[in-house]
Amino acid sequence: MRVLVLGTGGREHALARALHRDPSVTALHCAPGNPGTAEVAVNHAIDMLNPTGVVELAQRLAVDLVVVGPEAPLVAGVGDALREAGLACFGPDKAAARIEGSKAFAKEIMEAAGVPTARAHVCETLSQAEAALAEFSAPYVVKDDGLAAGKGVVVTNDLGEALKHAEACDRVVIEEYLDGPEVSLFALCDGQDAVPLVPAQDFKRAYDGGAGPNTGGMGAYTPLPWAPPGLVEEVMDTVVRPTVNELRRRETPYVGVLYAGLALTSRGVRVIEFNARFGDPETQVVLDRLATPLGGLLQACALGGLPADLELAWRPGAAVTVVVAAENYPASPAKGDVISGLDAANAVPDAYVLHAGTALNAEGELVSAGGRVLNVVGSGPDVASARAAAYEAASKVELRGSHHRSDIALLD
Ligand code: AMP
Ligand code: GLY
């Protein structure tokens, strides 16, 4: 099977590595990819947001499957264009990707499907926002309706700040605050059936102890030793399958990975958000544990015919990833700084480095090119040993001004 992966981050490097391990994958391409994906695939510098350009590349490379990493190409209609051209795509059409692209649409689907989520109001005027905030009381949760690259959500006790965010956005979703730990669960879907991956936890805030601004994610681990038994089946029954069924009923079948961001509240599991793609950096740890060959799985989703009773195989033990972020991430990350120490990091037993925001400069040196620069992954028989491997490897990385959290996967 010939495969093209779209995207450029640590998630795409993890996808490329997992596909490279699959003996049925005979050719692997990435677009645009990064210096890490170039180690296992051929990179192509195209604009992944241009559906016509993606179709042309996929046809020229004669690929059997296109795997879309980030949400932006999905929302831009890349999945639609590929399927119209008769190409297999892992990733939903534009219509189904609205489950991530519009928070109001996600709420509408959840209501229709009876999926447990925070009570919410969609507000378009300041007076509507005022009324909704009064109804829910603090802490206030105000979400920009559209895609906002992780910056659209404000959670605050300050009513003034909540109103200011509502005013700054055209349309917001204001909802009740959900307490309790967060879990990310990914399900592979073929439009009709869905198979869960193992749950993971992400660390969204920039600094230790959950301080600082929200980020795309500063680290992740799997499995979750504290998760209640039966959690995955419960989420499949109450969240994933009803959502997949509702989208199919609306004739916008969901093909790709449905990412359920969940809160385990004192009143039960609630959906915080859906994403139409693999989570980043959770994917890096989930795929580290996956033993079933990935290419065949994603192709079964894209073509239909995913066996509903499919049992995936997992390597025992745990994986932890620590994000090495650029100076001033997330506000205004520094770029172009030389990265060194990767050979030493990769030499740490049970650890390796994924490239997220890296590039080669004119001199051929590896430099930072994004906010989240590297994802250092460690594995081991349990979370503590995986964590130790990840941090030992992270300590070998040299990048001026970089920072990483020191409490990723630190369990009580
Ligand atoms: P989202 O973009 O919807 O994932 O929100 C980003 C982050 O904001 C989530 O990971 C949560 O930490 C937080 N958040 C979002 N919605 C809520 C909510 N209703 N209650 C508490 N925290 C929330
Ligand atoms: N790690 C959070 C996300 O991918 O949205």
- The pLDDT assigned to 112 comes to 98
DSSP state of 228: P
Average of pLDDT values for 245-264? 98
pLDDT in tens, 323-362: 999 999 999 999 999 999 999 999 999 999 999 999 999 9
Choose the residue to mutate in 275, 278, 405 for probing ligand 2, maximizing ligand atoms within 8 Å of C-beta.
275
The predicted model scores a pTM of: 0.95
> Which residue has 């009324």 as its token pair?
131
| Closest atom, ligand 1, to C-alpha of 150 | 2
**CB of 155 shorter than 6 A to ligand 1:** yes
Could you say which ligand is closest to the alpha carbon of residue 276? 2
Determine the straight-line distance between the first and last CA of the chain, rounded to whole angstroms.
44
* Cβ–ligand 1 contact at 204 (below 6 Å): yes
Q: What is the CA radius of gyration of the chain?
A: 20
* Mean pLDDT across the chain: 96
Cα(404)–Cα(219) distance, integer angstroms: 9
| Lowest mean per-residue pLDDT among 160-164, 308-312, 320-324 | 308-312
Does residue 370 line the site of ligand 2, with CB under 6 A? no
Tracing tokens 């997330």 back to the chain, one arrives at: 330
**What are the φ/ψ torsions at residue 207 (nearest 5 degrees)?**
-120, 170
- Residue (of 186, 231, 193) closest to 309 by Cα position: 193
- Confidence band for 307, pLDDT divided at 50, 70 and 90: confident
CATH numbers and ranges of domains, the chain: 2-93 (3.40.50.20), 119-175 (3.30.1490.20), 181-303 (3.30.470.20), 318-399 (3.90.600.10)
Which residues does 219 contact at the CB level (< 8 Å), separation at least 6?
202, 203, 281, 320, 321, 322, 323, 404, 405, 408, 409
Tokens read off for 24: 């049925």
Chain center to CA of 254 = 17
**Count of beta carbons in the 10 Å neighbourhood of residue 268:** 11
Confidence class of residue 145 from pLDDT cuts 50, 70 and 90?
Answer: confident
Cα distance between residue 113 and residue 280, in whole Å: 27
Instruction: Kindly report the number of other CB atoms within 10 A of residue 238's CB atom.
Output: 17
Cβ atoms of 95 and 113 closer than 8 Å: no
Q: Tell me the percentage of the chain whose pLDDT exceeds 70.
A: 99
CB of residue 272 inside a 6 A radius of ligand 1: yes
153 band by pLDDT with thresholds 50, 70 and 90: confident
Q: Coil, strand, or helix at residue 61?
A: coil
What pLDDT score does 170 carry?
Answer: 86
pLDDT at 149: 57
Q: Is the CB of 358 under 6 A from ligand 2?
A: no
Question: Is 106 a pocket residue for ligand 1 (Cβ < 6 Å)?
Answer: no
Q: Give the containing element (helix H, strand E) for 323.
A: strand 318-325
Name the DSSP class of 55.
Answer: H
User: Ligand nearest 140 Cα, by number?
Assistant: 1
Per-residue pLDDT, averaged over 23-41, amounts to 98
Which ligand has an atom closest to residue 273 CA?
1
Q: Select from 74, 115, 145 the least CA-distant residue to 243.
A: 115
Q: Is the CB of 273 under 6 A from ligand 1?
A: yes
Helix then strand then coil, in percent of the chain rounded to 5, is 35, 30, 40
